[in-house]
Amino acid sequence: MKKVFVLSRNIVSPLGNTAKENMEALCAGKTAVTVHNDAARSPVPFCAALMDPAFFQQAPAAFTPFEALTVASMEDAIRQAEIDPSDPDTAWILSTTKGNIGQLEQQPVTRALKNEVALTVSAQKLSAHFGFVNRPVIVSHACISGTLAIITARRMLEAGKYKTVVVAGADLITRFILSGFQSFHAVSDVLCKPFDADRNGINLGEAAATVVLSTQPPAAANPIVISGGGVSNDANHISGPSRTGEELFMAIDRAMKEAGTDAAAIDFISAHGTATVYNDDMESRAINLAGLQSVPVNSLKGYYGHTLGAAGLLETVIGIESLSNQVIIPTMGFETPGTVEPIHVCSKLTKTPAHAFLKTASGFGGCNAAIVVQKTQD
Amino acid sequence: MQITSAVIVREGSVVKDASVVFRSTETGSAFLNAAYEALEVLYPRFYKMDLLSKTGTIAADVLLKQRTDLEQWRPEDTGMVLSNRNASIEADVQYLEASKAYPSPALFVYTLPNIVIGEISIRYKFKGENAFFISETFDADWMHWYVADLMQRNLLKVCICGWIDVVDERPEACLFLVEQAPSATGHHFTAENLRSIYNKDYGK
C-alpha cells in the first residue's frame, strides 16, 4: 500500500497565520477564547474565539469571508509544499460545516441567493484562483467534516487516483450558528472546561486549516504519515452522542487496525473534547473501550473554541506540530477530572518522545471519525 | 458488487426499480406527506423532520420495505454515502426566519445535510461508514469510486448511496442499495449504471 505523507500544513486562526505561529501561541499558553459583545451576532455577550474583523476588511472583495479565510490557509500550505495546483495529478478537498451561511443573514433570501451561497460556487471560485484542474471534492458532514476530509484524501491517494491532495477546511461563527448552539443551551458563558467535572458547554471558534498530503515523500527526514482512518455512526440520536461510546470506539479501532498500530504505540490522543457533559463522557467511554485510558488526552477547544468543519484539520495540524516538536499540548480549561470513565487528561505542557497520535471527532447526525498520524522511523 | 434496488423521488412520483409506486399532483411538503400516507411508511418521527430527511425517509422505506433479511445485516457492515448540491439550504432558511423570533433547536438540528443520514441510520441501525459530499450535479463516477473502495476495503457490505436534494421545496432523490454479495437481480454496480438509473425519465 502507498504511504500518505504530510507535505505541509497551515492554520489561520486568531492565534496566528501559520502552523508555527499557532503552535508557539499554544506552547505559551495563549487562548483565543474571550468574551465578545457583538449585537450583530448575539443579543447577549458570548464567549468565543473570533478572527480580527480587519482580516476580512483586507481580503479581496471577490471573496466571501468564508472563501477569504480558506484561501489564506491554502495559500500558505501550497507555498510551503512547493506543489503546482494545476498538475493533473493534484486534487483538492474543501471541508466545511456551514460555509457561506453568513451570506443569508445579510440580505433577503431569494432563489438566486440560495444558488450563490452553495459550496460548489465557492469551490469553483477557489479552484480557479489556485488553478486546480481537477474537480474539487466537497465534504460537509457536520463536525467530523475536517477529519473525514483527511480520511477521504488518504483513500484517494492510496488508490492512486492522484499523487497529491490539498485538504482545506474553514468555518465562521455567525449569528445563525451561535443562536443555534445557544438554543441547545450548549454554549458556555466562560472559557470551556473539556473533560472537567464542572464543564458546562462549548465555546465556538473561527479558523481555517490545511494539510497537503502526497504519496511522494517530502525531503525532510522522518516524514509524517496519515496511517489509518475510520468512520462510524451512532444510529442513536441526531443531536446527542451515543450512551455507550461503542461507535466512536469502532471508528478508533478501524483507524488503528488500518494503521497497524496497537494502544501501546499511541503517544497521545487529540480528542474532540467539546466540554459538553455528554460528548466528553461518551469520549471517555470510547477511549476506555479502546484500552487507551492511560494515554495522555488533550482537547484544544479551550484555545480555539469549536471550529466546526475546520476542527479536525486544525487539531490534526497541532498534533503534527506535537510530533515534530516532541511536546504535548495541555488541555486549556481542564482542572478537575470528571468524566464517567477515567482518562488521562494532559494538563501541563509535556516534553516527551512522541511518534504517533490518534485524532477523534464526533458530530450531529451521530457521526464519528478517527485517524492515526505517525512519524516514520529511521 | 450489485445495485440490488433503486428508488427515485422526483416531481410528483416515487419510482422503485423502474415501477411507479406513487403518483400525485401535490408538490413539496404536501407531496411528501401524501407519499408517506399512501406508501404506509409508518414512522411517526417523519412529522418532526425537515423536507430533506422526510424525502430520505420515504426513499429508504421504499428501498428496504420488502427486504426480509434486514436483521441479518450487521450494523457495522452497513453505511450511507449521500450527495447533493444545496446542502441543507431549505432547513437553513427556515431556521433563519424562525430564529428572528425564537431560535428553535428542533429546526437548527436539521441545518446540516448529513442529518438525513443520521435519521435513516437510526431507523435501520446502520452504524458503519457514512459520508456526505457536495457536487454541482450527481457525480456517478465519484459515488461509484468511493462506495466501491469502502466495499473493497471490507468496511461495508451494504450501502445506501446516491443523491438527495431539496431546493425551493422541491424534493429530488435517487437512492441506490448496493450490496457486496453477489445477487441474481438488479444491476452491476458501475458508474454507468448509476448514471443511467439516475437519468431515466419516468414522466410526470
Is pLDDT above 70 for A378? no
Tell me whether residue A317 is in a domain.
yes
Please tell me if residue A189 touches chain B, with a CB cutoff of 8 Å. Answer: no
Does residue A135 share a domain with residue A10? yes
- N- to C-terminal Cα distance for chain A? 19
| CATH number, position A363 | 3.40.47.10
Residues A68 and A144 in one domain: yes
Q: Are B108 and A180 inside 8 Å of each other by CB?
A: yes
pLDDT tens digits for range B6-41: 999 998 999 999 899 999 999 999 999 999 999 999
Residues 151-170 of A with CB under 8 A from B: 152, 155, 159, 161
Give the whole-angstrom CA distance, residue A76 versus residue A24: 17
Q: Are residues A57 and A205 in the same domain?
A: yes
Any domain includes A117? yes
Whether pLDDT at A196 is above 90:
yes
- Tell me: do A169 and A79 sit in the same domain: yes
Q: Which of A139, A49, A67, A51 is nearest to A103 (CA)?
A: A67
Residues facing B172 on adjacent strands: B10, B165
Q: What share of residues in chain B are helix, strand, coil (percent, to 5)? A: 40, 25, 35
Domain's final residue, options A160, A181, A214:
A214
What is the per-residue pLDDT across A126-173, written as a single tens digit (0 to 9) for each? Answer: 999 999 999 999 999 999 999 999 999 999 999 999 999 999 999 999
Using an 8 Å Cβ cutoff, are A194 and A306 in contact? no
Q: Mean pLDDT, to the nearest integer, of A325-338? A: 98
pLDDT of the residue at B18: 87
DSSP string computed for A68-129: HHHHHHHHHHHHHHT--TTSTTEEEEEE-SSTTHHHHHHS---HHHHHHTSHHHHHHHHHHH
Measured distance CA(B166)–CA(B179) in Å, rounded: 27
**Contact by Cβ (8 Å): B53, B119:** yes
The ipTM, to two decimals, is 0.97
SS3 of residue A356 by DSSP:
strand
The fraction of chain B above a pLDDT of 70, given in percent, is: 99
User: How does pLDDT run across B46-92, given as a tens digit for each residue?
Assistant: 999 999 999 999 999 999 999 999 999 999 999 999 999 999 999 99
Q: Do the domain assignments include residue A362?
A: yes
Q: Final residue of a domain: which of A157, A187, A214?
A: A214
Q: Is some CB atom of chain B closer than 8 A to the CB atom of A179?
A: yes
Query: B2-199: CATH homologous superfamily?
Result: Thiolase/Chalcone synthase (3.40.47.10)
Query: A219 in a domain, yes or no?
Result: no
Q: What's the rounded Cα separation, in Å, for the pair A45 and A346?
A: 30
User: Do A178 and A235 fall into the same domain?
Assistant: no
Contacts of A175 in chain B (CB under 8 A): 99
CA A252, CA A359: separation in Å to the nearest integer?
Answer: 9
Whether A275 and A298 share a structural domain = yes
Range of the domain at A367: 224-375
Does A135 contact B at CB distance below 8 Å?
Answer: yes
Same domain as A187, residue A81: yes
Residues A267 and A331 grouped into a single domain: yes
Q: CA-CA distances (angstroms) from residue B190 to A138, B5, B82, B135? A: 22, 13, 16, 19
CB B6: neighbour CB atoms within 10 A? 25
In A266-343, the DSSP E strands lie at 268-270, 296-298, 327-328
Lowest mean pLDDT among A21-30, A279-288, B179-188: B179-188
Q: Do A118 and B86 touch (CB under 8 A)?
A: yes
Distance (Å, rounded) from C-alpha A142 to C-alpha B112?
Answer: 6
Mean pLDDT of all residues belonging to chain A: 97
| Cβ-nearest to B133 among A114, A138, A247 | A138
What's the CA gap between A152 and A36, in Å, rounded? 36
Domain count, chain A: 2
Which residues on chain A are in Cβ contact (under 8 Å) with B126? 233, 235
Whole-model pTM over 0.95: yes
Instruction: Give residue B201's pLDDT.
Output: 78
Mean pLDDT of chain B: 96
| Cell numbers standing for residue A364 | 450531529
Residue A252: inside a domain, yes or no?
yes
The three grid cell numbers given for residue A335, joined into one nine-digit string: 482542572
Domain finish residue from A188, A214, A240: A214
- Residue spans of the domains in chain B: they are 2-199
Contact A145, B76 (CB under 8 A): no
Closest among A360, A332, A300 to A146, alpha carbons compared: A360
Residue B203: pLDDT band by 50, 70, 90 thresholds? low
Angstrom distance (rounded) from CA B45 to CA A93: 34
CA distance B73 to B126: 9
Q: Report pLDDT for A199.
A: 97
- The grid coordinates of residue A153 equal 484524501
Q: What is the DSSP letter of A196?
A: B
Q: Do A114 and B142 touch (CB under 8 A)?
A: no
Measured between CA atoms, the residue of chain B closest to residue A152 is B146
Q: Does A287 touch chain B (CB under 8 A)?
A: no
In a domain, A176, yes or no: yes
